[in-house]
Amino acid sequence: MSDYLVIVESPTKAKTIKKYLGSRYQVAASLGHVIDLPKSQIGIDIENNFTPKYITIRGKGSILRELKNAGKKAKKIFLAADPDREGEAICWHLSRALGIDADTPCRVEFNEITKNAVKEAFKNPRVIDQDKVDAQQARRVLDRLVGYKISPLLWKKVKKGLSAGRVQSVALRLIVEREEEIANFVPEEYWTLLAHLQADGAIFSAKYYGKKGKKHVPASKEEVEEVLAGLKTQEFYVDDTKKRERKRNPAPPFTTSSLQQEASRKLGFTTRKTMSVAQELYEGIKLGKEGVVGLITYIRTDATRISQNAQNEARQYIEQEYGKKYLPAKPPVYTAKKGAQEAHEAIRPTAVERIPEKVKSYLTRDQYRLYRLIWERFVASQMSPAVYDTVTITIQAGDFEFRATGSQIKFDGFMKLYVEGKDTEEKEEDSLLPEVTPAQKLKLLELEPEQHFTQPPPRYSEAMLVKTLEEKGIGRPSTYAPIIHTLQVRGYITREKKVFFSTELGRVVLEQLLEFFPDIFDVDFTAHMEEQLDEIAEGKKDWVSVIKNFYDSFAKRLAVAEDHMEKVIIAPEESDEQCPQCGRRLVYKMGRYGKFLACPGFPDCRFAKPIVKELDVECPECGKPLVERRTKRNRIFYGCSGYPDCNFTTWDVPQKEKCPLCGYLTVQKGKTLSCANKECSYIRKLNEKNQAVQK
């Protein structure tokens, strides 16, 4: 018989912890929540202070019985769920089900699953934090009230199977409103003018800035021609030159949100995939003779703080691997955003000495890539800033002013290891300018005018959406993955070429929600509600009062919506194709992975097929058109329309241009154009407009 029973959420976590605790401890897994609100009813006694009606989750009865039996045999029970509000709630439900007194210090909390962290945590158990439990309970009740009251309304008025979420609908609103911005955007013309100049044999370019000290951006061809006419007789000379040193600091270690964003940018991971793989790394990976080891710290955090031990480890590694110049005199301190839970650390490797290459053989490809991202980001965050020399040359040509800017990395610092990704392409001047002196005359080689048009704001990528949700205080980073997943599953949005599009269904649902519940699905209201949940967790507010204040106005709006919301019929868009089975005209439908064609005669006729996008490029094997297809995991690839007779496929984007060396198909790979024939070595760089340029 074991002296102590320890309950965690997952079997992997249980296995990792067990090896640190020894034979006196039995470690069991609850497999997440065992008690929750029922699915078949709202499960909240609105008339009795919004008391939740908790039940044992279907299928979890046997787990709870086993835990109760094990608890009866143990001298003491420890509850060691994850160190967040959700984990606190799991422990609270278990403590009540197992008959643990509320004043018993049974809660064990650790930020990383390592021997020292686990053993230290068991030396200092605490009582369950009721304030954290109440905050989780308030969120659960709020979301249940909104979901279970509004969703049936949408079933009656729009379509069966729809749902409305308190936070998910605000995320949908951001996507829909961005599409409206794009649709209503009116491009404005503007021109740039480059002067290609020569100074003592060195050639460089300067950009037209303005006239008589005032900034001027030509808005038409006529305006730029007027500038060109004024420059015809002018000589170009250096007016001023400024050189200064700039420093670029490393990005802080990862929080949940920044990890989701960076994994989306650099690895192409969805938020859901990021959290799933990160959970595996946190709970433990078997590293040969070392056994199961937690490779990273807890993954649900909004803090950038790190422990003194971790900082010392990183500094020791940096000095050994890169030398003293890459080690700052004082360890950097990163400021967390307002409201961050500073009790947690940032996401970091549990041991810097476990460099990614050392553990690569024990990890899956996705685990390795994410671990490497976390490891590099953390180590880089403790390195010296990068140092740039920036130069600005001001050039006069009569009343006209041009400016040339450039920068050169003087010391790479943290950039030797890691550079943070960007949501949109930003040009960084990284070019050397010639040494010039004031009053020096320059030779004009060419004036190059170019027309441009202002661009609408970009559609949200997953990284951009997560960043916006966090900046606006909507939801919590741990909820972003299920929010985005739900919007896609419900058919409210689709993800194409890594950006989100709203569907007609999504727009109709949002329109109905905003007409009758404008406050509840308001960005500021949702952010304020998040602040109130934080205040409940800090013991500053009573959860029942917060829910009551919300529900009083919500109930009134609900009554109005039930009486006045009109029924909406969304007619499916017809295609030109006929159903091969019954002759009806096929319609476009929205599925989990976007649009597809289906027979409107469902369920009598169940014919459906994917929409195939044909390219204006011939198959190099048989000459038939190539088409865009998708894998089961929704990854795009290109194949022959003659399949299965012809099996040609490629992951890269096919181009019309034939290979000049062997005549085979060329494909675009990032910023290069290359031959798809593996036997051919032809490759060319592409310019900013994705046009091929010579090597």
CA pair distance 28, 6, nearest whole angstrom: 6
Tokens at 545, concatenated: 């009062």
Q: Which two tokens stand for residue 558?
A: 């609900």
φ and ψ at residue 221, rounded to 5 degrees:
-65, -35
Q: Which of 100, 55, 51 is nearest to 78 (CA)?
A: 100
Q: Is 112 helix (H, G, I), strand (E, B) or coil?
A: coil
**Do residues 258 and 312 lie in contact, with contact meaning Cβ atoms separated by under 8 Å?**
no
Q: Which of 114, 110, 109, 101 is nearest to 126 (CA)?
A: 109
The answer to whether residue 551 is catalytic is no
Nearest to 612 by CA among 592, 591, 637, 590: 637
**Terminal-residue alpha carbon distance, the chain:** 73
Tell which residue, 186, 206, 647, has the closest CA to residue 442. Answer: 206
**Nearest C-alpha neighbor of 42 from the set 531, 542, 534, 551:** 551
Alpha carbons within 13 A on the beta-carbon side of 544: 9
Burial of 679 (0-12, 13-18, 19+ CB in 10 A): exposed
Query: How far apart (Å, rounded) are the C-alpha atoms in residues 586 and 597?
Result: 6
DSSP assignment letter at 694: -
CA 521 vs CA 95, 298, 490, 529, 592: distances in Å: 36, 31, 18, 11, 24
Distance from C-alpha of 430 to C-alpha of 411, rounded to nearest angstrom: 13
CA distance 625 to 643: 11
Q: Are strands 35-36 and 44-45 parallel, antiparallel or unpaired?
A: unpaired
**Is residue 526 exposed (0-12), middle (13-18) or buried (19+ Cβ within 10 Å)?**
buried
- The H-assigned helical ranges of 74-167 are 85-97, 115-123, 130-157
Residue 521 DSSP class: T
Q: Which amino acid is at 569?
A: I
Q: Which of 298, 326, 388, 418 is catalytic?
A: 298
- The total number of residues shown for the chain amounts to 695
Q: Which amino acid is at 75?
A: K
Query: What amino acid positions are annotated as catalytic residues?
Result: 298
